């Protein structure tokens, strides 16, 4: 192309121009080639995973446990971001007057007890048959044999002395039922800091009675009272148990301290209390695994949970959660739990699902411990502080 003859004919300037043009053409060409090659290699890379690793189907990731036993307690402590779910916090209803709202539900479920008794007592002629029917109504409603006999005796005397009639019968029955439920018992929950430490509450009971639900609903009530609450997931039998509790915590703004599945419940309870102390919380609520009262090993474990917590803080409340629908079996449970741990209060759940509200009387008698809370539905605000007079009023409504 550029023969020596031709070169000699060109000026120096023309030569420089030609060299520059050739250089530019070379640079542009090479760059274009590199870009095109990179694009080619990027394109399949972006679409590749769809072919090589298809979207997992539902259930395919189930083999990978969320809570592997290799996790330590320290690992399980939640980062700040996870425990400050400010965006979706719910504003719980105050517990004040809650039993009044739930009274209709209580009246509906316990109608046969209250109204049945009232109808029998209001009969023109209160003969032996009527008194027998009254006794049967009370026993059927799980009031228990001794309290039933006591009540019938009192009613008999008063009806004889004070006369018969629908209005008197109602007043007398109300008074005697209130006395039987015992309004003098202290039903307040110890949920305030003392001696510079948070109050600690332990939730115990057999499987499925409503412990976790009660912890969650109680946390809502306490947070509505502007209390700082920490939850302890000492149910380590299943990862789902801690998840269930944490979900409650996230809804109301309470940190959940959890540990590995199959871990030591006592050390998680201990850790939750330690966390509560560090955060200067008002209350630490510790959820425990459901345990059959017949399994001595599990019952001993409960004693250990309490003892380990007591290395750093006092346990202010041990709340025994009893499913009201289990009737006499609930009484047996209460007896055994009270043998291994000092129960300070009873929570009767599922009262909405049974007509046997007499269990309130029977179980208090059995343990000499007050019913402090009652569950009247599955909703987040369906837990109410128990009150003897309101309860009896609902029965007679
Ligand atoms: N109807 C009704 N259902 C309730 C009440 N309290 C709890 N439940 C339901 O009872 C079921 C069991 O509740 P949980 O709180 O999981 O019981 P748990 O005692 O923690 O169970 P485990 O941890 O397995 O021992 C849930 O479906 C709750 O919604 C109540 O007062 N009324
Ligand atoms: Mg539970």
pLDDT in tens, 169-203: 889 999 999 999 999 999 999 999 999 999 999 99
Burial classification of residue 28, based on how many CB atoms lie within 10 Å of its CB (0-12 exposed, 13-18 middle, 19 or more buried) = exposed
Contact 370, 186 (CB under 8 A): yes
Q: State the SS3 of the chain.
A: CCCHHHHHHCCHHHHHHHHHHHHHHHHHHHHHHHHHHHHHHHHHHHHHHHHHCCCCCCCCCCCCCCCCCCCCHHHHCCCHHHHCCHHHCCCCCCCCCHHHHCHHHHHHHHHHHHHHHHHHHCCCCCCHHHHHHHHHHHHHCCCCHHHHHHHHHHHHHHHHHHCCCHHHHHHHHHHHHHHHHCCCCCCCCCCCCECCECEEEEEECCCCCCHHHHHHHHHHHHHHCCCCEEEEEECCCCHHHHHHHHHHHHHHCCEEECCCCCCCHHHHHHHHHHHHHHCCCCEEEEEECCCCCCCHHHHHHHHHHHHHHCCCCCCCEEEEEEEHHHCHHHHHHHHHHHHHCCCCEEEEECHHHCCCCCHHHHHHHHHCCCEEEEECCCCCCCEEECCHHHHHHHHHC
pTM of the entire predicted model: 0.78
Is the pLDDT assigned to residue 2 strictly greater than 90?
no
| Helical packing angle, 239-252 and 211-224, nearest 10° | 20
211 lines ligand 1 (CB under 6 A): yes
Kindly state if the Cβ of 273 falls inside 6 Å of ligand 1.
Answer: no
For residue 206, the ligand 1 atom closest to its alpha carbon is 25
CA dihedral (386, 390, 396, 397) positive or negative:
negative
- 343 CA → ligand 2 middle, Å: 18
CA distance 206 to 287: 12
Q: Residue 304 has what pLDDT?
A: 94
C-alpha span between 394 and 108 (Å, rounded):
9
Please say whether the beta carbons of 217 and 384 come within 8 A: no
pLDDT for the residue numbered 12: 61
Q: What span, in angstroms and rounded, lies between the C-alpha atoms of 96 and 115?
A: 27
Is the C-beta atom of 210 inside 6 A of ligand 1?
yes
CA distances from 35 to 25, 27, 28, 48 (A): 16, 12, 11, 20
Other Cβ atoms less than 10 A from the Cβ of 72: the count is: 10
Relative to the CA of 241, which ligand 1 atom is closest?
23
- Quick one: average pLDDT of 16-32? 50
Residue nearest to atom 10 of ligand 1 (CA): 210
- Is 375 touching ligand 1 by the criterion CB < 6 Å? yes
Tell me the CA–centroid distance for residue 208 and ligand 2, in Å.
7
Kindly state if the Cβ of 208 falls inside 6 Å of ligand 1. yes
Looking at the chain, which residues constitute the CATH 3.40.50.300 domain(s)?
A: 199-390
Closest CA to 289 of 308, 317, 268, 274: 268
Our answer on whether the CB atom of 246 is closer than 6 Å to any ligand 1 atom is: no
288 CB near ligand 1 (under 6 Å):
no
Between CA 243 and CA 249, with CA 248 as vertex, the angle to 5 degrees is: 90
Ligand nearest to the CA of 209: 1
- Judged by phi (left if over 0) then psi (alpha if -120 to 50, else beta), residue 162 lies in alpha
Q: What pLDDT is recorded for position 279?
A: 96
Query: Which pLDDT belongs to residue 105?
Result: 87
110 lines ligand 1 (CB under 6 A): no
Q: What are phi and psi of 251, to 5 degrees?
A: -65, -35
Atom index in ligand 1 nearest the CA of residue 237 equals: 23
Q: Is 264 in the pocket of ligand 1 (CB under 6 A)?
A: no
CB burial of 254-273 (b: ≥16 within 10 Å; e: otherwise) equals: bbbbbbbbebbbbebbbbbb
Annotated binding site for GTP: 205-212, 287-291, 349-352
Predicted pLDDT of residue 43: 32
pLDDT in tens, 220-241: 999 999 999 999 999 998 879 9
221 CA distance to ligand 2 middle (Å)? 18
Ligand 1 and 377: CB distance under 6 A: yes
Residue found under tokens 């987040």: 380
**291 Cβ below 6 A of ligand 1:** no
Q: Is residue 145 predicted with pLDDT exceeding 90?
A: yes
Whether residue 348 contacts residue 359, with contact meaning beta carbons closer than 8 Å, is answered with yes
Ligand number, closest to the Cα atom of 216: 1
Question: Residues comprising the binding site?
Answer: 205-212, 287-291, 349-352
Q: Which residues contact 300 (CB under 8 A, 6 or more apart)?
A: 340
Q: Which residues surround ligand 2, an ion (CB under 5 A)?
A: 211-212
What is the reported pLDDT for 71? 35
State the span(s) of the chain assigned CATH 1.20.120.140.
95-181
pLDDT tens for each residue of 60-113: 333 333 333 333 334 434 334 344 444 466 666 667 667 777 888 888 888 788
Domain 199-390 has CATH 3.40.50.300: yes
Closest ligand 1 atom to residue 216 Cα is 15
Taking CA atoms only, the protein residue closest to ligand 1 atom 1 is: 377
Give the closest residue (by CA) to ligand 1 atom 27: 378
Q: Which segment of 158-167, 323-332, 374-383 scores lowest on mean pLDDT?
A: 158-167
Residue 354 CB partners (closer than 8 Å, separation 6+): 109, 324, 325, 327
CATH architecture group of domain 95-181: Up-down Bundle (1.20)
């Amino acid at each position: 192309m550029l023969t020596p003859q031709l070169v000699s004919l060109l000026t120096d300037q023309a030569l420089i121009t030609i060299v520059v043009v050739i250089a530019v053409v070379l640079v542009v060409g090479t760059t274009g080639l590199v870009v095109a090659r990179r694009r080619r290699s990027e394109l399949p890379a972006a679409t590749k995973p769809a072919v090589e690793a298809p979207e997992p189907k539902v259930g395919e990731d189930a083999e990978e446990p969320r809570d592997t036993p290799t996790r330590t307690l320290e690992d399980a402590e939640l980062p700040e971001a996870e425990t400050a779910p400010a965006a979706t916090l719910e504003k719980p209803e105050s517990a004040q007057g809650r039993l009044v709202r739930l009274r209709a539900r209580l009246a509906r479920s316990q109608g046969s007890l209250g109204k049945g008794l009232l109808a029998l007592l209001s009969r023109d002629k209160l003969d032996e048959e009527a008194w027998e029917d009254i006794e049967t109504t009370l026993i059927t409603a799980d009031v228990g044999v001794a309290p039933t006999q006591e009540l019938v005796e009192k009613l008999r005397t008063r009806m004889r002395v004070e006369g018969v009639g629908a209005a008197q019968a109602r007043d007398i029955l109300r008074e005697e039922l209130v006395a039987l439920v015992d309004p003098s018992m202290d039903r307040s929950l110890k949920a305030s800091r003392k001696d510079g430490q948070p109050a600690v509450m332990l939730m115990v009971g057999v499987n499925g009675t409503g412990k976790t639900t009660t912890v969650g609903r109680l946390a809502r009530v306490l947070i509505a009272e502007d209390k700082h609450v920490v939850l302890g997931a000492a149910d380590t039998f299943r990862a789902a148990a801690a998840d269930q509790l944490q979900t409650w915590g996230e809804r109301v703004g309470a940190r959940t301290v959890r540990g590995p599945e199959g871990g030591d419940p006592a050390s998680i309870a201990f850790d939750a209390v330690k966390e509560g102390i560090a955060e200067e919380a008002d209350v630490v609520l510790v959820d425990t695994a459901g345990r059959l009262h017949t399994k001595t090993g599990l019952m001993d474990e409960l004693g250990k949970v309490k003892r380990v917590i007591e290395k750093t803080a006092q346990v202010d409340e041990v709340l025994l959660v009893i499913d009201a629908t289990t009737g006499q079996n609930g009484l047996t449970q209460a007896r055994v739990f009270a043998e291994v741990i000092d129960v300070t209060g009873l929570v009767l759940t599922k009262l909405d699902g049974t007509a046997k509200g007499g269990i309130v009387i029977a179980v208090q008698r059995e343990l000499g411990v007050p019913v402090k809370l009652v569950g009247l539905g599955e909703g987040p605000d369906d837990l109410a502080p128990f009150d003897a007079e309101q309860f009896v009023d609902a029965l007679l409504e």
